[in-house]
Chains A and B, each alone.
Chain A
Amino acid sequence: MIRVCALTDLPPGEVLRLDLEPAVAVFHTEDGEVFAVDDNCTHQNASLADGWLEGCEVECPLHAARFDLRTGEPDGPPATRPIRTHQVDITDGDIYLTLSPAAQPGATLPAP
C-alpha cells in the first residue's frame, strides 16, 4: 500500500500523476470520489492525467477516448481495451493506493 497524499492536497476536479512503473493517475472527482488508474491511454501513448475529467469518466487529451474510472472500461472507440484500475482507500484523511497485481484481461502493460 502506498500513501499518495492527504485528501485535502488533492481537491475535487484535480489529478495527481504518480511516477510509478507504469505511471498511475489518481483522480478526485467533483462528486468527491477518488479513483486510481494506469496513466497511459490504451489507445495510443498519452497521459490520462492530462485528460478531461467529467463525472466518473476521463477523456484522453489526444483522441478523446473515454474511460469509466470505476471499471476502466472504454466508452467505445478509439480505445478498445480497458485501463487497469487500482484500489484506493481513504484512511484518516490520507489517500492510500493498492496497486492491482496483474493486468485486467485484454489490457497490455508496458514491460517493467
Chain B
Amino acid sequence: MRRIAVVGGSLAGVSAARALRKQGYDGELVMVCDEPGPPYDRPPLSKSLLAGESTEAEIGLLGEGETFDADWRIGVAATGLRPAEGGVTLSDGTELRVDAVVIATGARPRQPWPDAPAGVFTLRTLDDARALRARLLPGARLVVVGAGFVGAEVASTARALGVDVTVVEALGTPLAAALGNEFGAVIAGLHAAHGVRLLCGTGVSRLVGQQYVEGVELADGRMIPADVVLVGVGVRPNVEWLAGSGLRVTDGVQCDAYGLTGIDRVVAVGDCASWYEPAVGGHSRLEHWTGARERAAIAVSSLLSGGRQRVEGRPPYFWSDQYGRTLQLAGRIAAADSVTVEEGSAAEHEFLAVYRQAGQPVAVLALGHARSFLRWRKQLAAAPTAAG
C-alpha cells in the first residue's frame, strides 16, 4: 500500500493517521476533512470551551508541528467511494486514486425541527459551540431537549454561566439506556441539586416562535418559555456518501470486531462505524471518544496486516463531566442482571457501582472514585467476556 486516504478529520480520522505512522506506514497519506478549520477535539464543546475556560487553540487535535506528512484536504467532503478501483470522489470535483481507505466520517446531530426558528441549536461542531456560547448569557432561559450526555453537560455549563435551565426528556428516566433506570435517576438528581428543572416523560410537540424561538410546547400541552433551545436527541452516522459502494451500511458501516468492512482494504472507525461486539453478539455503534481513539489503532493494524493481526480492544469506556464531577462508565450494562453500590452512596452522588451478569462483573459506574474505578476497569479488560 503506497497511498491511503483517511476520510474524516476528527478524533477517529486523526487517530487513524497517527496510528498509521506509528505502525510504520510510510507511504502517501491523504486526509479528507470536511470541516473548514484544523482538526479539534469535541468533548470540550459542551464543557470547557462552552464555559470559556478553554480557547479554540487549546482544543486542537494535532500536536505542535504534527502533520503526519499528509496531503490535507481541508473543507472538502468525500461524496462517493468505489472500492474496486480505489476511487474516492471529493466535493471539490477531485477524484482520488488510493490503495486503501479509512472511513471516519463520524455522525451528525438528529434535528427533528430542521426549519426551527433562530435560537435553536444542536451541538456537534466548533461553529455550533460558538453560536450557542454567544446566547448563553446570564439570566437567559435555556431549554434543553433531551437529557442525554450532551444535554446534561450543556445544562451544567449553562448553569455555571448563570443561565436559567430546563431539561425536557421524553423518557421517564434520563440516561436509562446508558446507565439503566436506577442510576439514570441517580444522575438525574444532579440536575435538581444544581437548580436545573428536569421534566421527564413528556415529549416536545413543537417549538414556538416565528423568527426567533419563544418557547417549547410539550406533548402534554405545557408551554416552557425559552430564549435559547438546545436539541440533544442523538446522532445519525454520516454514511450517505457510501451509497453504491458495496459496503454493508445499516446504522453505520458494518465492521467485524477488528474494523474490517468485508471489502478489501476498506476499514471504518469512530461514530460512523458499527463494529461487531463479541461480548454482545451483535453490532453496535459506539459513540465514545475512547472508542474512536482505540479502535482507530485496531483498524489500522487490521488494514496494514490484511486482517492477520488481531488486536483485542478494551471494554468500552466513557466519561461525562457534569456539575464539577466526572461520571465514568466502563463495560457493557446491557447484559447485566444486577447492579450494586460497592463504595460511597448513590444518594450523595459519590459512589462506585458494579453491574453483574450471573455474578460476573460486566460494567462499572463511578462518580468520584477514580482509583477504584480503574481497578475495576482493568479487571473487566482481563475478564474472558471481553475477549473475542
Within 8 A of A (CB), among B347-384: 370-371, 373-374, 377-378
Counting chain A residues whose Cβ lies within 8 A of the other chain, the interface size class is 10 to 19
Q: Output the residue of A47, A63, A76, A80 with the most chain B CB within 10 A.
A: A76
Contact A78 B41 (CB under 8 A): yes
Contact B374 A61 (CB under 8 A): yes
The yes or no answer to A51 lying at the interface (CB within 8 A) is yes
**B293, closest chain A residue (CB):** A64
Q: What is the bound-complex CA distance between A76 and B61, given in angstroms?
A: 6
Interface residue tally for chain B (C-beta within 8 Å): 25
Query: Which listed residue (A46, A50, A77) contacts B61, Cβ 8 A?
Result: A77
Q: Is the interface of A mostly helix, strand, loop or mixed?
A: loop
The yes or no answer to B59 lying at the interface (CB within 8 A) is yes
Contact A61 B41 (CB under 8 A): no
Contact A77 B371 (CB under 8 A): no
Q: Given A50-B371, A51-B374, A52-B374, are A64 and B58 also a contact pair (CB < 8 Å)?
A: no
Q: What is the bound-complex CA distance between A26 and B370, given in angstroms?
A: 18
Contact B63 A76 (CB under 8 A): yes
Contact B290 A64 (CB under 8 A): yes
| B319 contacts across to A, CB distance below 8 A | 62-64
Binary contact readout A35-61 vs B (1 if CB under 8 angstroms, 0 otherwise): 000000000001100111000000001
The yes or no answer to B317 lying at the interface (CB within 8 A) is yes
Q: Besides A52-B377, A62-B326, A76-B14, 17 other CB < 8 A contacts?
A: A46-B370, A52-B374, A52-B378, A61-B370, A61-B371, A62-B319, A62-B328, A63-B326, A64-B289, A76-B15, A76-B18, A76-B61, A76-B63, A77-B41, A77-B61, A78-B44, A80-B60
Taking Cβ atoms with an 8 Å cutoff, the residues of B that contact A are 14-15, 18, 41, 43-44, 58-63, 289-290, 293, 317, 319, 326, 328, 370-371, 373-374, 377-378
